[in-house]
A and B are shown apart, each in its own frame.
Chain A
Amino acid sequence: MMRADLELIYDWVPKGAHVLDLACGDGELLESLARNKGVTGYGLEIDHDGINACVERGVSVIEHNLDDGLSSFCDNSYDQVIMTQALQALRRPDKMLDEMLRVAEEGIITFPNFAYWRHRVHLGLRGYMPVSKSLPHAWYDTPNIHLSTFNDFEHLCREKGLMIVDRAVGVGDHQGHWKSRLWPNLFGEIAIFRVRRR
């Protein structure tokens, strides 16, 4: 069984699509998309073990630092660009969003929601930087340099004039919680957006 956010993304990728998966990890999503939905494309990854795992399972993976941008990929050369749990670790998340939607018409982005109530309790009541399942690092060794909230991201999309096709939040590994809810900014631990350029 795949990670819960990957399950949702899996459903959002159309059959036979040509996709780019930024920070593809061990290639699990791409492999099951290729096997069951005839999806083609490439994963970009920087982690050595992830790259090796991809190669071992036959997923095309390219060693690539996302902070170097996507200039080696042509405009509109993919149907979708997917980026799971990497937005918050990028030097310029806003520029990456532009890049994703230059390379493809549609992008799928997931990231930890900093405004999740447990995170708020950590910071607001206890006075400590949040540490949780979705934010497992200490403040001093975290790769997450641009944490944001569900609302922040929605705001950025609006500023950029992007269309939000779908949005959802999830809590940890609980499958059933993957849906839009009344107060996603408060109750969603992981945010997931499907956006399009207009």
Chain B
Amino acid sequence: MPDSDTLAFADRPTTSVGLVTPHVARFDTPLALACGKVLPAYELIYETYGTLNAERSNAVLICHALSGHHHAAGYHSEDDRKPGWWDAHIGPGKAIDTNRFFVVSLNNLGGCHGSTGPVSHNPETGRQWGPEFPMVTVSDWVASQARLADQLGIERWAAAVGGSLGGMQVMQWAMTYPERVANAVVIAATPRLSAQNIAFNEVARQAIRSDPEFFDGWYAEHDTVPKRGLKLARMVGHITYLSEDAMGSKFGRDLRSDDLNFGFDVEFQVESYLRYQGDTFSTAFDANTYLLMTKALDYFDPAATQGGDLAQALAPAQCPFLIVSFTTDWRFPPSRSRELVDALTRAGKSVSYANIESPHGHDAFLLSEPRYDAIVSAFMNRAARELNLPETGPEETP
């Protein structure tokens, strides 16, 4: 996210959820995965914002995207420079209003921010899971999230909300557990990846896997990290998150110095920006997790189980949907959201769709934009009304 969108804790507005502390939920019932393997036990790290009401009817699930995690809103410490990744939308008075809703945000299985994943210890082998961590799919995530809901005593989400890969999880929730989702918000997503989407993911994976420091995924045992591979993966990914216009207006053909130096060092500002993004990411994210997450994206295709008929696949869903896309998103362009909308109308489901004017490409789903905020607010307000949630939210219990 751009720095201009972030505020240090000290300057935080009253619409911040403030300081938050993650929790860890442990699950000892084995989880059978789509790939055929079984995860004997696992942990999920999550955060909550707002207060769960007595009826447990005001819980909202936030599903994260490719490189996201559980820290969606607020600050972990007063020294934090940036709030959570979706702070623009979660907080008192914001689109997902924590005065009314109890928000749950977790790190998915296979992640590298505290939930069980490749960097966790594998009790069976006594070493890190590393590349042996089983492939996880969107359905596996949703199954693991359902167990988290069970543990929190949440029978039915007031809403499941997610952007990009998070939107796919929301779709899956509505199909797998229709009785457990009262409303679904699917933002900047797609019902399946295109060949071009998969191609970009494959370039990212090859960048990581061909790094000599990758060691077939056992880099941790060699006390190293495939930084160059991860950096390249992030650089190519990042290009697909921004629009051509956004890149053009942000960097143009601006040079770092006054003259061309006829070499291969950084000359253009855009090169500098991409290298910086790549470098930052390569020390903060686990390579095996990145590989897993991109595969989960590639595999998601609910229509495939119904001979390519998406409307048929969505038939079990019962909740109203809000589908949002962004005009300059070329990773998952508006036409892909529209495919989902058309399948939902064919299936006779309740669905609303807005295509938001934004220069920010795919990244727009992370940012605040008046029309985007307004449509999500409108949908969540109606959801709250239908669930009989009071305007001010549940009373705090001392």
Interface size class of B (residues with CB under 8 A): 20 to 34
Minimum Cβ distance to chain A for residue B93 (Å): 16
Check A77 against B346 for contact (C-beta < 8 Å): yes
Closest chain-A Cβ to B347's Cβ sits at a distance in Å of 11
Q: Are B342 and A72 in contact (CB under 8 A)?
A: yes
- Cα A63 to Cα B375 in complex, Å, equals 12
A72-B338, A77-B346 known; A57+B353 contact, CB < 8 A: no
Given contacts A56-B382, A58-B320, A58-B382, whether A51 and B342 have CB atoms under 8 Å apart is no
Report Cα–Cα, A42/B382, bound state, in Å: 17
Q: Which residues of A contact B320 (CB under 8 A)?
A: 58, 60
- Indicate the member of B345, B355, B375, B386 with the most A CB atoms within 10 Å: B345
The answer to whether A56 and B353 touch across the interface, beta carbons within 8 angstroms, is: no
Q: If A60-B320, A72-B342 touch, does A54 touch B352 (CB 8 Å cutoff)? A: yes
Interface residue from B345, B346, B374, B381 paired with A62 (Cβ < 8 Å): B345
Q: How large is the interface on A (under 10, 10 to 19, 20 to 34, 35 or more residues)?
A: 20 to 34
Q: Counting CB contacts under 8 A, is A91 at the interface? A: no
A residues within 8 A CB of B232? none
Which positions 338-355 of chain B face chain A at CB distance < 8 Å? 338, 341-342, 345-346, 348, 350-355
A88 within 8 A of B: no
Task: Give chain B nearest CB distance to A81 CB in angstroms.
Answer: 13
Closest residue on chain A to residue B350 by CB atoms: A60
Residues of A within 8 A of B386 (CB): 58
CB of A62 within 8 A of CB of B378, answer no
Contacts of A63 in B (CB 8 A): 353-355
A2 at interface, CB cutoff 8 A: no
Measured CB to CB, the closest approach of chain A to B325, in angstroms, equals: 9
Residue contacts A-B, CB under 8 angstroms, 5 given: A48-B354, A55-B378, A56-B381, A61-B353, A77-B346
Question: Which residues does B use to contact A, with CB under 8 Å?
Answer: 320, 322, 338, 341-342, 345-346, 348, 350-355, 371, 374-375, 378-379, 381-382, 386
